[in-house]
Amino acid sequence: MKLLRASLVVLPALLLGPSHSNAQPAAAADAAKATPEEGIPVTDPVVLAKCGGCHTKDSHGNLSRISWERATPEQWEEALKRMIRLNGVRLTPAEAKAIVKYLSTYHGLAPEEAKPVMYLAEKRIQDETIIPNDTLRGACANCHPLARPLSWRRSPEDWKMLANLHVALYPQADEAFRLGINAGGFGDHEKPGDVLPVDDALAYLSKTAPLHTPEWAAWRARMRAPKLAGRWLVSANITGHGKYYGELEVEPGAADDEFTTRVKLVSVKDGSTVVRAGHSLVYAGYSWRGRSKGTSPAGSAPDDLSSEMREVMWVSPDQSHAEGRWFWGQYQEFGFDITLQRASTEPTLMGVDRSALKTGSQSNRMRLIGDNLPAQIAAADLDLGSGITVRRIVSHTPGEVVAEVDVAADAVPGKRDIAMRRAVLQNAIAVYDRIDYIKVVPESVVARLGSETHPKGYQQFEAIGYQRGADGKSHTADDVELGPVDVSWSVAEFYSVYGDDDKDFVGTLSPTGFFTPASDGPNPERKFMRNNYGDIWVVATSKNEKGTDGRPLTGKSYLVVTVPMYMQWDQPEVGQ
C-alpha cells in the first residue's frame, strides 16, 4: 500500500468530518463508491445536516466514510472533536450530544464486540494480551493501546484511509508504519519485496474488526431501549478500601435512554456508608456512561469517595446485570470495580465479608450479605462444599447471615461456591493450606509529580495473597487468589544508575499503601538539581505469613514517578 508522506493536499479528504469548504472531498467519496461492501445508511437529520456538507450522500443513503465505520461512544466523540478542532465544525452542545448518541447506537458495536476492549473506556491499568505479534505492536501499539483501533469496525478501504490519516497528522507514524518501532529498536523492512508493518496491521484489522459481523447483525435485530428503572443490587471493590455492598435506585430521565441514579454503599470493613447521586446515558442498549458525586461535599483527600466520578459499565443484553468501573482523579487513578444485578423477590446472595478459609481452622465467623434472605434459616441451608461444615447460624436478617464454619484439614484447596437453598454465590471464597506468595497490585504503574499549576497523580497499592494451584507451582494460571494480606509497606531503590537515590525524593508511601508523589522540581537538594522523578520498588512485607525459609513473605511493585502530563490530547465527556 502506498502511504501519503509529503503531500497534505488530500488531508481534508482523509479527515472524518466536514469542513466549511465548498469543495467536495473527491478522494474519500471515490473510495466509498469503490468499496464492494454495503454501507450503513445514515438517517438522523442532525447528522445529515451537520456532516453531510463534506460526507457526500449516495443513492442508498450512505454518507462517505461514516457509513463504513462503527465505533464505541468514546471513539465517536473523539472523531467529532477532531472535526471541531481541525475542520471548524460548529455545534451546540445539544447537537453534539445528539450526533454522538445516534452514531454510537446505530453505528456502534455489538455487546460482544465491545466487551473485550471495555478496559480502554474504563481507564484501567492493564497489560494488553490481545496484541498478536511484535510487528503489530510496533506499527500500532507504541503510541496507543491496541484496544483503540479495536474499538472501531471499518471496511478494508476505510482502514487504509485511517493509516493515511495517521501519516498526514503524525510524522512519527510514517516511521512506525515502515519500520515497526519496538523496544528493541527498528525492524528491518526496507528490503525490496518486504511486507511493511502497516500492511500486516491493516490485514489484521480488516480481518479482526470488519464493518459487517454476525454479532452486529444479530444485535441490530434485537437491540431495544434500555429498561433499567428500578432497584439494583451493587457489589463494589475499591483498592485500599475493601468491599462495599448496597443498592442503586435507577429512575427514568429526559429520554428513554437517559436515567437518574442514587446509590448507597456500605463498607464490609467498618460499616461506613457512601451515598451518591448522578445521571447516565445508555448507548446502543448496553453502553452505560454516567457521572455521579457524593451527596456530602467531597473532602480534600484525593481518594475521597464523595468525589465526582465517571461511570462506565457494560449492561448485559438481557438487561439483568452490569459490570464496569467508576473512576476519578486527574489521571483516573482511583476507581470502584462495580457489579450490578437487578433486584428480585427471590433471595439473593451478593457477597461475603472474607476472601478465604484455611484448612484445619475451626469456628470461622463468616458474614454473608444478601437481599430478601429467608426469615428462617438453619445451618443445613448453607453449603460451601465438601470439607466445610456449617457449625451454627449466629444471626440473620433479610440483608445478612452470620455463620460459624469449620474447615477440615484435608479439605481440597481452591475456590468454592456458597449456596443458600437455591441462591448461589459463585467462586465466593477460597480454601487454602498456606499462602505461598504475595502480589502487590498494581504490579507496575506510573505516578506523576505535581505543582501549583499541575495536579499530582497518586497511586494506591494493595497486597494480595496467593496459593500455588493444583500444579504445585507458583505464578501459574491455576494459582488461587486469597484476598488482601496484612502487610507493612516500604520503598526500596530500583537501581538503574550508579549512586541512585530516587527513593529519597520521589514521594512518600503511607502505612496503608497510599503513595503521594513529591512536587516537581528542579530540586536543589538533588545532584545536578534534578527534578524529583525516578523509579522505585514499592515493597509489601507480610506481618503474619512466612515462606518456606521462615522469613516473612514479601511482594513488590515497580513504580515510575514522572513529570505531570502537561498536555492531554483528549478528554472524553460522553455521559455528561
Rounded average pLDDT over 48-77: 96
CA distance 25 to 21: 10
Identify which of 293, 280, 420, 421 has the alpha carbon closest to the alpha carbon of residue 340.
280
In DSSP notation, 44-89 reads: -HHHHHHHTTTS-B-TTSPBTTGGGEEE-HHHHHHHHHHHHHHH--
In this prediction, residue 24 has a pLDDT band, given cuts at 50, 70 and 90, of very low
Rounded average pLDDT over 375-383: 95
Q: Is the model more confident about 573 or about 116?
A: 116
In this prediction, residue 6 has a pLDDT band, given cuts at 50, 70 and 90, of very low
Which CA distances in Å does 239 have to 173, 244, 303, 465?
37, 11, 10, 14
Contact criterion met (CB below 8 Å) for 354 and 416 = no
Which of 2-6, 335-339, 487-491 has the weakest average pLDDT? 2-6
**Which pLDDT does position 452 carry in this prediction?**
82
What are residue 325's DSSP bridge partners? 312, 337
- Start-end ranges of CATH 2.40.128.120 in the chain? 230-342
Which CA distances in Å does 302 have to 137, 255, 387?
34, 34, 45
Rounded average pLDDT over 49-58: 94
Report, in this order, helix, strand and coil percent for the chain, each rounded to 5.
Answer: 20, 35, 45
Which grid cell sits at 458? 497518586
Helix (H, G, I), strand (E, B) or coil at 203: helix
CA distance 290 to 574: 8
CA distance 576 to 573: 6
Contact criterion met (CB below 8 Å) for 351 and 245 = yes
Task: State which CATH number among 3.40.50.720, 2.60.40.10, 3.40.50.10540, 3.40.1190.20 fits the domain covering 348-432.
Answer: 2.60.40.10
What are residue 252's DSSP bridge partners? 259
Q: Taking all residues of the chain, what is their mean pLDDT, rounded to a whole number? A: 90
Contact criterion met (CB below 8 Å) for 182 and 197 = no
CA distance 570 to 551: 48
CA distance 292 to 260: 9
Helix (H, G, I), strand (E, B) or coil at 320: coil
Classify strands 242-252 and 258-267 as parallel, antiparallel or unpaired: antiparallel
Query: Which residues, other chains included, contact 202 with Cβ-Cβ below 8 Å and sequence gap of 6+?
Result: 1, 156, 159, 160, 163
The 10s digit of each residue's pLDDT in 230-284 is: 999 999 999 999 999 999 999 999 999 999 999 999 999 999 999 999 999 999 9
The 10s digit of each residue's pLDDT in 292-346 is: 999 988 888 999 999 999 999 999 999 999 999 999 999 999 999 999 999 999 9
CATH number of 230-342: 2.40.128.120
In this prediction, residue 192 has a pLDDT band, given cuts at 50, 70 and 90, of low
Q: Is the model more confident about 175 or about 396?
A: 396
Contact criterion met (CB below 8 Å) for 370 and 377 = no
pTM of the model: 0.89
- Start-end ranges of CATH 2.60.40.10 in the chain? 348-432, 437-562
Instruction: Examine residue 522 and say whether the peptide bond preceding it is cis (omega within 30 degrees of 0).
Output: yes
Instruction: Say yes or no to pLDDT of 25 above 80.
Output: no
> Cell 483503540 sits at which residue?
148
CA distance 218 to 210: 15
Interior angle at CA 327, CA 430 and CA 284, nearest 5? 95
Rounded average pLDDT over 143-165: 95
Identify which of 527, 536, 532, 533 has the alpha carbon closest to the alpha carbon of residue 503.
536
**Which pLDDT does position 34 carry in this prediction?**
53
Identify which of 295, 355, 353, 292 has the alpha carbon closest to the alpha carbon of residue 325.
292
Class of domain 437-562: mainly beta
